[in-house]
Structure 1
Amino acid sequence: MEEVPHKLVGLPAQPYGQWEEEAKRLIEQQMARRGISYKQLSRMLEDLDIYEPSDQINRKINRRRFSAAFLIACLRAMGVESIRLPQFKQEQNLDG
């Protein structure tokens, strides 16, 4: 098999961990602000021709592994027109 030419060596295993948490928090905050359940979000996504059961959406969000497209679709389905991205400290790499 051919080696992937763009594979980066020496980077942390989870370089996007804090960003995944931020994306999860963003969806959850918007759901809470609007009083939207996972079941309701599932129905709202259907209006965008996205068919995912509420339990699958819940798992996807809670494991913090979803695409930017899913994030945007959820925000759009909830009627979010703008978002504020607060600054937060990046975790420091203690390995040196």
Structure 2
Amino acid sequence: MTERTDWEARAANLLKAELKRKGVTYSQLVDRLAEIGVSEKEVNIRNKLSRGKFSAAFMLACLSSIGCDTLHLDRL
């Protein structure tokens, strides 16, 4: 099994933080993604975020579906 890179961890943490900030659960995220035509299962989302392995397109779809229109990328 491969380790997460710093960039993968940062992307996963960013997405998880935005979900928490918006008060959106993984189950709710599944429903919101479905509304914009993206089919995902809760277990798949949970796995993607725990591994930090997902595409930029998936991240953008998630952020868009929860109404996140601004990101602040602070230096780590």
Deviation digits for residues 7-27 of structure 1 (CA, Å, limit 9, x no counterpart): xxxxxx87x811101110111
2:64 corresponds to: 76
* Selected match of 2:53 from 43, 65, 87: 65
1:6 corresponds to: none
Give the Å deviation of 1:82: 0.7
Give the Å deviation of 1:47: 1.1
Structure whose alpha-carbon radius of gyration is higher: 1
Q: TM-score, normalised by structure 2?
A: 0.91
Q: Distance in 2 between matches of 1:43 and 1:37?
A: 10
Q: Distance in 1 between matches of 2:37 and 2:46?
A: 18
Give the Å deviation of 1:74: 0.5
Instruction: In structure 2, list runs of 5 or more residues that go unmatched.
Output: none
Q: Distance in 1 between matches of 2:43 and 2:24?
A: 14
After TM superposition, which residue ranges in structure 1, 4 or more long, deviate above 2 angstroms? none
RMSD over aligned Cα, in angstroms? 1.5
**Larger RCO of the pair (alpha carbons < 8 Å, separation 6+):** 2
Q: Distance in 1 between matches of 2:14 and 2:31?
A: 19
Any residues of structure 2 matched to 1:10-25 within 5 Å, and which?
Answer: 17-25=5-13
Q: Which has the higher helix share?
A: 2
Instruction: In structure 1, list runs of 5 or more residues that go unmatched.
Output: 1-12, 89-96
Query: Would you say 1:44 and 2:32 are equivalent positions?
Result: yes
Matched residue count: 75
SS of the residue corresponding to residue 58 of structure 2 reads: helix
Give the Å deviation of 1:48: 1.1
SS of the residue corresponding to residue 50 of structure 1 reads: coil
